[in-house]
């Protein structure tokens, strides 16, 4: 099969590209390297079945042409940062909602009919039901990030209805693993390398979050593409567990061999729109035969090991 | 109070402007007259408490300046046409999602903290629960229009959370009454004036829809602004009844004194994304003390009478 992967140079995107190539597929990757890294694609670029197009999806120019002849679009390009939404709201509108629209229009122009999309558990806001199923009560958004992904999901479903697409919408918990480039493990490892004696944690440290290992995430997406056959398939992806932020701090510190003094900024939220409890019901994807191989703790440890082995990733951001 | 009304020259907008002025308020109206009519604002323009700004909301330029000193924003400007979404998908993205974002950014710039928004029952897609409550299961979008309003709702709620706004999000059924300029009553009256002997109806005529009279809609919005005090208030607005398309055809024909032969295009949907059954649970707004004064039939008849008395409205569209 021939796949089109947006955000191909990103954390999940580059892992997916490698997986698809290893399974013998052809892949066209699209990335502007705003947050992705060319270095993540070193292996892929050596493979004749991989083509890289370096462009910005916010401009519709060139997307359809690059997509020509592909069969499935994995739309992973995004502003994936939920925390800084209020500092730059337009970024979420543009990078998540408008870019998704441009991808859909290119698909329509080229007659590409299948799209897999990386949505988010943040879309449930502060869910009334936990663990939160895909058909939870209509949520109220609490973050620009969630809002922008909600808009993107809506357009994808409307295109499926209006233009005969098939859509797989994946609502992720936070993803961990090799090539992880932002989020709490990144922040804590970086801070503890600079000063292993102390660590500042946003909120009261009791925020409960769920995480999933990137290879488990990719397994799930590829399985769903094969086995979930509705016009619009919405699937939560996560482990059937959660941890508190301070649990994760403990695992990271242990892995690093440090014993920092923890200071808490206080409050039950780390930032505006922080969700104090994210835990998704994953019965739907499990019923298709998937289960994650790594626990949350193993995912955190794998990520720490990756960052220690690849310090350039920690140093690549300001 | 001083209000800012987008879509001030539109069907609902111009009725709201007149109401607010009649209650002694100041109003700044914003409209590009793409689908609204200056003629609807003749009365308002003669009132010194009304200011009209003729601009396009798709450009952020000028919105904040026009909004300065107002206290509540009624954001009614929209592409309100659900039927032709697949012919021009970008119109929904731009006119509904992006324009709403521009309005929110202007509010943030000017420190205006209250927004009332005209969303839609179409946002529930083909609802699993009928009558459909505000916290119905997370819906799958079936129209570009619904998707674009969903994105707008999401951004409004995220701004409320992120920037301390208060939001009133109203999910309307179709609205009827004076200054009604598009929709099935408009189409049928126009067609029957041209040829009273026959009428073509999209679908099987059994589509079940709910309607609300515009003055009842305005009563409800103003009451909710006063009585619904959450940060984000989501409220369905509709009558506690529905009718079939052929019921409405019968009332329209009777009012016009014609007996057309009806031909049906067939199928349970009039067009792609047509929802065969829209009926909203309105317990939440009723609990605040509101109830509609006109039945669906009375709303249809009032609309027919208005169109007959104002044939220029029927002739203003191609």
pLDDT band (50, 70, 90) for residue A268: confident
Q: Does A122 touch chain B (CB under 8 A)?
A: no
DSSP, residue by residue, A35-93? SS-GGGGHHHHTSTTEEEEE--TTS-TTHHHHHTT-SEEEE--S---STTGGG-HHHHI
The pLDDT score that the predictor gives to residue A122 is: 93
Structural domains for chain B: 2-175+211-237 (3.40.50.720), 178-209+241-315 (3.90.25.10)
Q: Judge whether A159 counts as a catalytic residue.
A: no
Kindly determine whether residue B86 and residue A125, on different chains, have CB atoms separated by under 8 Å. Answer: no
Is it the case that residue A28 has pLDDT exceeding 90? Answer: yes
Fill in the DSSP letter of residue B241. -
What residue ranges of chain B have pLDDT lower than 50? none
Q: What is the mean pLDDT of chain A?
A: 95
pTM: 0.96
The pLDDT score that the predictor gives to residue A80 is: 81
Catalytic residue among A145, A159, A180, A242: A145
Search chain A and give the residue with CA nearest B232. Answer: A140
CA distance B153 to chain A (A): 8
What percentage of chain A exceeds 70 in pLDDT?
99
d(CA B266, CA B1): 50
Q: Does A287 touch chain B (CB under 8 A)?
A: no
Give the mutation candidate from B138, B167, B171 for the A interface (greatest A CB count, under 10 A).
Answer: B138
Q: Does A88 touch chain B (CB under 8 A)?
A: no
Search chain A and give the residue with CA nearest B140. Answer: A157
Which of B149, B148, B150 lies closest to B138, judged by CA? B150
Is it the case that residue A239 has pLDDT exceeding 80? Answer: yes
The pLDDT score that the predictor gives to residue A277 is: 87
**H or E stretch at B314:** helix B311-315
- Those residues with Cβ within 8 angstroms of residue A228's Cβ, 6 or more apart along the chain or in another chain: A168, A235, A288
Q: Does A121 touch chain B (CB under 8 A)?
A: no
Search chain B and give the residue with CA nearest A86. Answer: B162
The pLDDT score that the predictor gives to residue A318 is: 67
Helix (H, G, I), strand (E, B) or coil at B72: strand
Contact list in A for residue B125 (CB cut-off 8 A) is 157
Q: Does B140 touch chain A (CB under 8 A)?
A: yes
Q: Residue A296: how many CA atoms within 13 Å on its side-chain side?
A: 21
pLDDT band (50, 70, 90) for residue A276: confident
The predicted-structure confidence for B134-151, as pLDDT tens digits, reads as follows: 999 999 999 999 999 999
Which of B167, B52, B54 lies closest to B119, judged by CA? B167
Is it the case that residue A83 has pLDDT exceeding 90? Answer: no
Is it the case that residue A180 has pLDDT exceeding 90? Answer: yes
Q: Does B58 touch chain A (CB under 8 A)?
A: no
Size of the A and B interface in Cβ pairs below 8 Å: 143
- Token code pair at residue B131: 């009558």
Q: State the CB neighbour count (10 A cutoff) for residue B58.
A: 13
The predicted-structure confidence for A115-169, as pLDDT tens digits, reads as follows: 999 999 999 999 989 999 999 999 999 999 999 999 999 999 999 999 999 999 9
DSSP, residue by residue, B178-220? TT--SSHHHHHHHHHHH-TTEEEESTTS--EE-EEEHHHHHHH
Search chain A and give the residue with CA nearest B151. Answer: A151
CA distance A149 to chain B (A): 8
């Amino acid at each position: 099969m021939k796949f089109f992967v947006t955000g191909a140079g990103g954390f999940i995107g580059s892992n997916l590209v490698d997986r698809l190539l290893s399974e013998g597929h052809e892949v066209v990757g699209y990335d502007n390297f705003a947050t992705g890294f060319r270095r993540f694609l070193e292996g892929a670029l050596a493979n004749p079945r991989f083509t890289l197009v370096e462009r910005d999806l916010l401009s519709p120019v060139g997307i359809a042409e690059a997509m020509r002849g592909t069969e499935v679009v994995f739309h992973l390009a995004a502003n994936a940062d939920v925390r800084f939404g209020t500092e730059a709201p337009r970024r979420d509108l543009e990078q998540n909602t408008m870019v998704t629209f441009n991808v859909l229009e290119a698909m329509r122009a080229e007659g590409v009919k299948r799209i897999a999309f990386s949505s988010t558990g943040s879309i449930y806001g502060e869910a009334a039901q936990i663990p939160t199923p895909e058909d939870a009560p209509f949520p109220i958004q609490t973050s620009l990030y969630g809002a922008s992904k909600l808009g993107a999901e809506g357009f994808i479903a409307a295109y499926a209805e209006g233009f005969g697409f098939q859509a797989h919408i994946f609502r992720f918990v936070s993803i961990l693993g090799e090539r992880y480039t932002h989020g709490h493990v990144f922040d804590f490892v970086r801070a503890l390398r600079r000063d292993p004696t102390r660590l500042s944690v946003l909120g009261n440290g009791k925020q409960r979050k769920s995480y999933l290992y990137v290879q488990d995430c990719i397994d799930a997406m590829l399985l769903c593409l094969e086995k979930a056959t509705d016009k619009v398939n919405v699937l939560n992806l996560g482990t059937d567990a959660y941890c508190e932020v301070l649990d994760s701090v403990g695992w990271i510190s242990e892995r690093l061999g440090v014993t920092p003094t923890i200071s808490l900024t206080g409050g039950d939220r780390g930032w505006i729109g922080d969700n104090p409890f994210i835990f998704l019901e994953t019965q739907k994807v499990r019923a298709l035969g998937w289960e994650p191989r790594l626990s949350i703790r193993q995912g955190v440890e794998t990520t720490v090991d990756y960052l220690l082995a690849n310090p350039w990733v920690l140093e690549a951001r300001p």
